[in-house]
Amino acid sequence: MIKINNISKKYKNKAVVNNATFEINKGMCTALIGPNGAGKSTLIDILIGDRHPTSGSIDDNEALLNEKHLGIMFQKTIFPELIKVKELYNLFSSMYKNPISYEQFSKITRFSENKMSEFANRLSGGQKRILDFGLALIGNPKFLILDEPTSAMDVQMRQHFWDIVDGLKAQGVTILYTSHYIEEVERMADRVVVIESGEIVMNDSPNNLKANQHNSIIKLPLKHQYLQSQFNHNQMTRVKDSYEIQTDNVNQAVQILLNAEVDLNEIEITKTSLLESIFSNNKEESL
């Protein structure tokens, strides 16, 4: 287990990370999510020792953060000019006592022998990401950090990527990753840590976050525009060819509709989980 204890990082008296406390449990997959600029990358940099915290401490009794046990896939990697993929494999594998084999590396990246002979900086965006992933796995890490790993990957490559992660989880590899894809968090994470403005605001399992229903949306035809006066300001809004009522009290809203003799066969009620709400807010803030 890695314990992050009251970590803060300030630049010119501005807190980029503020009193962050959470645990990364051994053999589990932890998702660190939040809007752009929330402090995710800074926190990762502190974890791996690239930056030093202003205050706080990190307990790593299992030595998972030791470079011998750590694999890192950064959000963006710039490969050197005129170095081939297979040369990168040879370079990285020379740094470890028991690296994965050339065949294993090829299987992870899905690169043919011709692709292995190409210059790394001439690969497509998705190919560079899977190459980055393969390089992070060369040393058979016990702890793997993945920062926005599937950005630029197509659907097939993303599925291949997470199939490999499934296998790593089964082997007991500890994983910390960031993602902007809710389906990846719901599928892979054992724990979700939400950071906003440098502060940890939520720390729970995906199932609990999904079960904690945050909001309900009632959709009804445009002909019921007259009902706007029955709801609070901005609670009932037009969205394309219908009206939507957002409420955290479905019974009360439905009663208003019944009193107005609205045919309930015309309405649609959907639930938005807390996890969905988090990702929706993240997308709005990144626009």
Q: Give the integer Cα–Cα distance in Å for 99 and 91.
A: 11
In total, how many domains does the chain have? 2
Token pair, residue 54, equals 């202003």
Torsion of CA 175, 178, 182, 188, to 10 degrees: -10
Quick one: tokens of 158?
């993303």
For residues 58 and 126, give the distance between their C-alpha atoms in angstroms, rounded to a whole number: 33
Cα(167)–Cα(234) distance, integer angstroms = 47
Give the separation between CA 255 and CA 262, rounded to whole angstroms.
Answer: 10
Range of the domain at 75: 2-210
Are 81 and 10 in a shared domain?
yes
**Which secondary-structure segment (H or E) carries 183?**
helix 182-188
C-alpha span between 276 and 287 (Å, rounded): 17
Q: How far is CA 269 from each of CA 157, 182, 218, 242, 264, rounded to the nearest angstrom?
A: 35, 21, 4, 13, 10
Same structural domain for residues 108 and 164?
yes
How many CA atoms, within 13 angstroms, populate the side-chain half-sphere of residue 98? 5
Give the domain CATH number at 78: 3.40.50.300
Q: By percentage, how much of the chain surpasses pLDDT 70?
A: 93
Domain boundary among 175, 210, 245: 210
Same domain, 51 and 82: yes
Q: At what angle do helices 85-93 and 102-109 cross, to 10 degrees?
A: 130
Residues 255 and 161 occupy one common structural domain: no
Do 168 and 224 belong together in one domain? no
Given a cut of 80, whether residue 9 has pLDDT beyond it is yes
Query: Looking at the structure, do residues 125 and 224 belong to the same domain, yes or no?
Result: no
48 and 174 inside one domain: yes
Please indicate whether residue 84 or residue 286 has the higher confidence score (pLDDT): 84
pLDDT tens readout for residues 229-284: 999 877 999 988 999 998 888 899 999 999 999 999 999 998 776 667 676 665 54
197 and 232, same domain (yes or no): no
Q: Are residues 123 and 244 in the same domain?
A: no
In this model, does residue 94 exceed pLDDT 90?
Answer: yes
Give the type of residue at 235: Q
- Average pLDDT of the residues in 182-189: 85
Average pLDDT of the chain, as a whole number:
90
Residue 50 sits in the same domain as residue 188? yes
Whether residue 287 is predicted with pLDDT greater than 80 in this model: the reply is: no
- Residues with Cβ < 8 Å from 159, sequence gap 6 or more? none
Are residue 200 and residue 245 in the same domain, yes or no? no
- Site of tokens 């190459």: 131
Residues 113 and 187 in one domain: yes
pLDDT score recorded for residue 214 = 65
CATH of the domain at 243: 3.30.70
